[in-house]
């Protein structure tokens, strides 16, 4: 069934995080006719500054927890869709303490699905390619939507669980839902715990970048703005009940990415430390985006990774006031775990 959906008043959960805030800014710029209610708990990863300056008549922030059913009963009526980004999103945190991941990613999604069922509105579920597990480094195959779920970490297993809830609610209760699974995002406003911002801000602080394991692990990088456009296309043109994979043919090993950062920031190519590997570290992710491209006509715009990386580095150079408050505590946590 094709949805051809025209949203007017949407809820974006996690709209003060990295990718959610990019989506909110993208909607504000490209669809001024759409009102956005951001529902965000403002955890350590949520920052209202990420959506500051957007027109108040268009973007409203409600600070609250997606697990709070009474709150959902108060705010969901009157909206025509939920775009669900809110999550505990960092693998390393999930290894240290899985509980908030189960709570927010699984229970939180369950609460949203129940609200969607009760109020009969559209739902788009933002998920990750990590639900498919990992690929061998030399394997020609890439992830496809119907691949079996084989998540490795507490984080990815809770995201996989949430996807399965969505599939079940769509089949059993007939909710109007779509799912997207995207690869690794980069761009402005990403928390300093994540790979690229961590290394960039380390260099800016005079700390040596840290590479896990052998550095051969491969991630499939996509600019977060390309992700936002894809989510919009799926929300408005995607087929109900379908899963779309989002990726921009951006496979690179971690050591390649780190060497590009070092070079762009004028550092010697060996100016980094090898550190303890992540337990259960997925080797390689790679997305086959054919379904999204052929059905919905989506194509990435940010196809030059070096250029996107350069712009991202510049953003961190220009926004020290944004990342500095989180930097010390983040590095202290990493140091405690030998990373
Ligand atoms: P993030 O950690 O930067 O932001 C998460 C946001 O969710 C924060 O604003 C936080 O305050 C909010 N939040 C957390 N728990 C909440 C709760 N219980 N109630 C309400 N709000 C809550 O995450 P991100 O990297 O922007 O990822 C956003 C989504 O995209 C996640 O669902 C993630 O699984 C998915 N995703 C991320 C990537 C990536 O590369 N970062 C790739 C594919 C998919
Ligand atoms: O694939 C999509 C996923 O991408 C999202 O679902 C997650 O929310 C997002 O965090 C990201 O997960 P990764 O675990 O791939 O991202 P992270 O930035 O934590 O790490 C990227 C790679 O870099 C990974 O192979 C681990 C490695 N790494 C990471 C850090 C923080 C290092 O070598 N050194 C580091 O300091």
Residue-level pLDDT at 4 = 86
Query: What percentage of the chain reaches a pLDDT higher than 70?
Result: 99
Contact 197/317 with Cβ under 8 angstroms? no
Residue-level pLDDT at 315 = 98
| 198 within ligand 2 shell (Cβ under 6 A) | yes
Whether residue 3 is predicted with pLDDT greater than 70 in this model: the reply is: no
Residue with CA closest to ligand 2 atom 34: 211
| 246 within ligand 1 shell (Cβ under 6 A) | no
Residue-level pLDDT at 106 = 99
Distance CA 219, CA 237 (A): 28
Structure token pair of residue 25? 């800014």
Q: Can 270 be counted among the known catalytic residues?
A: no
Whether residue 57 is predicted with pLDDT greater than 60 in this model: the reply is: yes
Which atom of ligand 1 is found nearest the CA of 50? 9
Q: Can 285 be counted among the known catalytic residues?
A: no
Residue-level pLDDT at 8 = 98
Residue-level pLDDT at 206 = 98
Which ranges in 76-119 belong to alpha helices (H)? 91-96, 99-101, 109-119
Distance CA 143, CA 262 (A): 30
Three-class SS of residue 255? helix
In angstroms, what is the span from residue 138 Cα to ligand 1's centroid? 31
Q: Which ligand is nearest to the CA of 153?
A: 2
Average pLDDT, integer, range 98-110: 99
Mean pLDDT of the chain: 98
| Residue pLDDT, tens place only, 258-293 | 999 999 999 999 999 999 999 999 999 999 999 999
Q: Can 130 be counted among the known catalytic residues?
A: yes
| Residue pLDDT, tens place only, 284-301 | 999 999 999 999 999 999
Whether residue 1 is predicted with pLDDT greater than 60 in this model: the reply is: no
| Residue pLDDT, tens place only, 209-252 | 999 999 999 999 999 999 999 999 999 999 999 999 999 999 99
Task: Look at phi and psi of residue 215 and say left if phi exceeds 0, alpha if psi is from -120 to 50, else beta.
Answer: left
Phi, psi of 115, rounded to the nearest 5 degrees: -65, -40
The angle that helices 195-205 and 254-264 make with each other, rounded to 10 degrees, is: 30
Average pLDDT, integer, range 304-326: 98
| 186 within ligand 1 shell (Cβ under 6 A) | no
Average pLDDT, integer, range 304-312: 98
Q: How many CA atoms lie within 13 A of 242 on its CB side?
A: 20
Locus of tokens 């402005």: 188
Residue-level pLDDT at 304 = 98
Residue-level pLDDT at 2 = 52
């Amino acid at each position: 069934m094709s949805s051809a959906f025209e949203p007017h008043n949407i809820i974006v959960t996690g709209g003060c995080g990295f990718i959610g805030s990019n989506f909110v800014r993208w909607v504000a710029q490209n669809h001024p006719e759409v009102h956005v209610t951001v529902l965000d708990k403002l955890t350590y990863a949520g920052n209202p500054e990420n959506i500051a300056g957007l027109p108040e008549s268009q973007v409203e922030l409600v600070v609250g927890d997606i697990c709070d059913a009474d709150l959902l009963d108060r705010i969901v009526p009157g909206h025509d869709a939920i775009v669900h980004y809110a999550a505990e999103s960092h693998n390393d945190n999930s290894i240290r303490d899985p509980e908030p991941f189960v709570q927010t990613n699984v229970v939180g999604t369950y609460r949203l699905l129940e609200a969607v069922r009760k109020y009969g509105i559209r739902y788009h579920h933002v998920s990750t390619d990590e639900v498919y597990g990992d690929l061998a480094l030399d394997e020609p195959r890439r992830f496809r939507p119907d691949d079996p779920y084989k998540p490795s970490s507490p984080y990815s297993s809770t995201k996989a669980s949430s996807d399965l809830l969505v599939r079940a609610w769509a089949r059993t209760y007939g909710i109007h839902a779509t799912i997207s699974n995207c690869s690794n995002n980069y761009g402005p406003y990403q928390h300093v715990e994540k790979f690229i911002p961590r290394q960039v801000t380390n260099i800016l602080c005079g700390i040596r970048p840290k590479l896990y394991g052998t550095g051969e692990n491969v991630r499939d990088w996509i600019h977060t703005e390309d992700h936002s456009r894809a989510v919009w296309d799926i929300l408005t043109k995607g087929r109900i009940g379908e899963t779309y994979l989002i990726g921009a043919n951006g496979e690179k090993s971690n050591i390649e990415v780190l060497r590009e950062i070092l070079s762009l920031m004028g550092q010697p190519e060996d100016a980094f430390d090898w550190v303890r590997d992540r337990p259960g570290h997925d080797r390689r992710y790679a997305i086959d985006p054919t379904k999204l491209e052929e059905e919905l006509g989506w194509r990435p715009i940010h196809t030059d990774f070096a250029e996107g990386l350069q712009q991202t580095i510049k953003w961190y150079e220009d926004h020290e006031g944004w990342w500095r408050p989180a930097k010390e505590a983040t590095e202290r946590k990493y140091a405690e775990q030998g990373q």
